[in-house]
Amino acid sequence: MPVTLHSHSGQFCRHAHGNLEEVVRTARRKGFRVLGLSEHVPRYRTQDLYEEEVSLCGMPDVQGTSASDLTPEDLVNIFDEYVATAKRLRAQYQDDQFTILVGAETDYINEESLSKAVQLRQHHHLDYLVGSVHHLREIPLDFSQALYNQLLATCGGDLEVLFGEYFDAQFHMLQALKPEVVGHFDLCRLFAPRQHPLCHTLTPELQAKVCRNIDYVQSYGGMVEINSRAYKKNLPRAYPQPDILRIILAKGGRLTLSDDSHGPDDVALHYSVVREYLDEMGVNKVAYPLPCKEKQPANEISTVPVAWVDDVISHPFWSGLL
């Protein structure tokens, strides 16, 4: 019953495709027992809108009419509609063989983005958060090679500076939100030069930051996702890469699985390769959060309640993907 706790749809995310119900139906058909829905939280400033949100070229909006440029207020309304739709789909499709968790993927752009995420969790009674960092110095780090290069230039071209700031930003996000799931732990490597040593092995200083972050996640019972979307982005392994995954395993940290799907065609994408990665690294069990039973701000969580999938490598789920 391998799980996926990180998903998006074109209905609520402009760089994804398909609608949310198609994602749910595909996950159920492929044999998932636990599906986490995690559309992006809103961004609250016009300057933080993505390219496809300000030049939509006649794309249909959520209601199916011709769309113009979005505003931050539109993103808030879209997120509200996402939560309502996700809860309706949960009522329609969930049964004793298929659990749907309603969550959100957060971001850390500035302090407001963190405080707003806490408020959204409380307001919408979300089951869980995927805590991610997509920006550094208020520049997107995973949107395009050009923007990554721009970010790297502001760091004096020093990749170690960029990585260090990324892991520091991640730590600050973890402290503010205590997300149940840590999203694509080493996303800072996505557009880094593949031949650079830091793409494979971190310096002792960076390793210390990673260990600090992992220790903090363990302190409240959070999980680090093994995220298969890295393969679609032509990385050699899923997030996190082996050097970081070894640290998590050595510390006894909790792991979970995610496809980070951006539409129904991405559901379980590269999961067969993820199974090989799990086997290679000696991962024999993964966790997933239990549904939220009471409203509680994310930053007040003491211990994340989870269920476990033991002997995950030999689970019959995988045979259905071959």
What is residue 58's predicted lDDT score, i.e. its pLDDT? 40
pLDDT interval class at 64 (50, 70, 90): very low
Percent of the chain with pLDDT over 70: 92
Q: What is the pTM of this model?
A: 0.93
Region label for 260, one of left (φ > 0), alpha (ψ between -120 and 50) or beta (otherwise): left
What is residue 280's predicted lDDT score, i.e. its pLDDT? 97
Percent of the chain with pLDDT over 90: 87
The count of residues in the chain is 322
Number of domains observed in the structure of the chain: 1
pLDDT interval class at 1 (50, 70, 90): low
Write out the two tokens for 222.
Answer: 């959070």
pLDDT interval class at 292 (50, 70, 90): confident
What is residue 78's predicted lDDT score, i.e. its pLDDT? 96
Which domain CATH number covers 59?
A: 3.20.20.140
Is 80 exceeded by the pLDDT of residue 195? yes
Structural domain range at position 33: 3-321
